[in-house]
Amino acid sequence: HHILARLLEVYVSAVVELKTLPAGRELGFVHRRCFELAGWDKAFVAAHVDRDAAWWLGAVRDFVAGMTDAYATQVARELAGG
C-alpha cells in the first residue's frame, strides 16, 4: 500500500502542477518524468492540457491501477531518485 500511496501522491501532485502552471512554463523534472513514465510525452500533454483535472486524474487512476507490483515498485523507486 505504501508504494501505491506514494505513486498516487506524486501523480496527483503532477496533475495539480499541470493545471496551475502559468502559460509558457514547463513542468518540474519529477512531474515531467511522471508523465513520461506513463507514456504521456510532451506532445500528448500539450494536446490534452486543456482537459479538466478530473480527466487527468482518471488517466492517473487507470495508469496506476494497471501496474503490476514489480512495475509500481520500479516507478516509485525511479521517481524517488533511486
Residue type at 59? A
Average confidence score pLDDT of the chain: 94
Residue type at 9? E
Burial class (CB in 10 A: 0-12, 13-18, 19+), 56: buried
pLDDT at 44: 95
- Of 71, 9, 5, whose CA–CA distance to 38 is shortest? 71
* pLDDT score of 30 more than 70: yes
**How confident is the model over 63-75, as pLDDT tens digits?**
999 999 999 999 9
CA distance 80 to 75: 8
Contact 31, 13 (CB under 8 A): yes
